[in-house]
Amino acid sequence: MKELEDRIRRDGEVKSTEILKVGSFLNHQIDVSLFNDMGAEWARLFASKHINKILTIEASGIAIAAIAAQHFGNIPVVYAKKNQSRTLDNSQYETQVYSFTKQKYYKVIVSTRYLTADDHVLLIDDFLANGNAMHGLIDLCKQAGARVEGIGVAIEKYFEPGGRKLRSEGWDLQSLACVKSMNPQTGDVIFEENPTA
């Protein structure tokens, strides 16, 4: 998606060859107009799918998913929670996810009330690196008997193995910007226009 690529080139901060900061428009300050266009693009890419729920993960996925849902007929958005809340009962699906940014395992949970075998789910997240967050969401859907119809990622880091793994597993993965490489010296970001493998 050209608009997102242009924005990353303009406002993204290349912290290292592996870490891209996009806090000024995506995961700290939010550009609502950009998110709206991202939602419209996923709706176009997944137009052939019957999707009745979006599942994402706390925290950065929530705003992206909530705005995207408006392009899928205002379907419900569920987010996997990272902390056990005292208001949740024991009826929950849970899985372990290895955090790319914190480099440790954490538990995520979804109430059995909000993810069921009737659900046809689109998974959404801000970044895809090793694919651990996405595999956690897929696992929660499997536990619920929900069907994963597709995976939408804002920024895929193509030089990390997550996208390749998910595509080889047969998932319909649509990344709106796919970063092939980054140069922290120059700040240059190179995109892959045809992510297939």
Residues engaged in binding ligand 5GP (CB under 6 A): 19-21, 27, 60, 100-101, 125-133, 157, 162
CB of residue 129 to ligand 5GP, shortest distance in Å: 3
The span from the CA of 34 to the CA of 147, in Å, is: 28
Nearer to ligand 5GP, 119 or 125 (CB): 125
Cβ-contact 126, 97 below 8 angstroms: no
Biggest CA–CA distance in the chain, Å, is: 51
CB of residue 87 to ligand 5GP, shortest distance in Å: 24
Structure tokens at 171: 């998932």
Nearer to ligand 5GP, 112 or 130 (CB): 130
**Residues in contact with 18: Cβ distance below 8 Å, sequence separation at least 6, in sequence order:** 157, 159, 160, 182
CB of residue 11 to ligand 5GP, shortest distance in Å: 13
Nearer to ligand 5GP, 41 or 126 (CB): 126
